[in-house]
Structures are given as structure tokens and as C-alpha cells.
Amino acid sequence: MHTRLLRTASFGLFLLGLTTIAQAQPSMDPDGRFSGGQTTRRYEFFGGESYVGAIPRTTVPAPGSYKPGTIVVNTAERRLYLIQDGGTALKYGIGVGRVGFTWAGTTKVVAKKEWPDWTPPSQMLRRRPDLPRFMKGGPENPLGARAMYLGASLYRIHGSNEPETIGQAVSSGCFRLLNDDVIDLYGRVKVGAPVIVLR
């Protein structure tokens, strides 16, 4: 009886140790440059979930001499920078347009919406007639928790309910962030903010 109890306790400690090691294991690709930021959903031993390989939001030196409040999207790098005071920027991992859907230019944020509704544009419906014609805002909506609309274009910076697509080239030209990141960005960005998209 005592031996069986000891074995059970030892096995429990072994599992706890594995969980701790897995969480403490340093990544060989901390900002997702080699994996493209591919995330994998992991279910934790004691409940809940996390995303392995998620691109962390970080403060970095500003990538150029842009005015504070400017958003700079680097499509090739799959990163979005919000320029701050003091020569720094907040860097976010993003999903970008797939081949044939990337673009570059200068625009601005013309509107912001929380839990936006989604009406797929006609161009998208021609490519994907299976899509719904309208989808009410909410956790299942592909625009995620927040959206910032860019100029007169069909493009947006928005959240995503598909975290595994962050760091990937899968969209029809919009820029998608983790919902936590888009909520953070949304709170910092003003309508009228310049947006510079680089290839």
C-alpha cells in the first residue's frame, strides 16, 4: 500500500515536472521569424489552453522616423508597428495577404468598430460562394474582437478567431492579429491615424 502510494505520488510529480519544463523551455524562434509565427494550441494539464509559438507583443526601436501614432505594416516581416514617442514602437505579429493579395501604400484609419459585423465583399463571394452573406459580430466572426477600417479600401486591421493564422500569409489582403493584440492596438489608435503598408 505504502509503495503504491509512493509510486502514484512520484508519477504525479513527474508529470508536474514535465509541464514545468515545457513551459520554461526557451524557444529557438522567439519572434517567429523561422516558423512565421505558427501557433499550436496546447491544452494545459490543469485546464485552460495556451498557444505555443504565439508572437509576443514587444516594445522595440521604431523602424524609421515616422510620427508617433503611425501604423507601419511590414508585410514581408509579418509584423505591425505602432510608432510611439521616444523613438520606440509596439511590435505585433500579424497575418497578411496570401500570394496575389498583398499590397503596399499609404492610407489611414477611417473607422473603428468593436465586435464588428462582417459582410464579405462581392469579390470574395465570387471566389468563395459558400461564405455567408452576412455575419453578426461576436467570437465566431472572422473579424474578431475589433476592426480598424483602412481608407476607401476593402481592407481592415482586425482580430481573428484563428490564432494559428497569425504570422501566416492567408488573408485576402487584410491584416489580422490575435484578439488580445487587436484589443490592445485598438485602444491606442485614433481615427485618422496614418497607415503605411510596406511589402
Catalytic residue numbers, as ranges: 158, 174
- Binning the chain into helix, strand and coil, the percentages to the nearest 5 are 25, 30, 45
Cell numbers at residue 156, please? 481592415
Cell numbers at residue 146, please? 475589433
CA pair distance 145, 177, nearest whole angstrom: 10
Nearest Cα residue to 144 out of 158, 155, 154, 157 = 158
Nearest Cα residue to 114 out of 158, 153, 80, 77 = 158
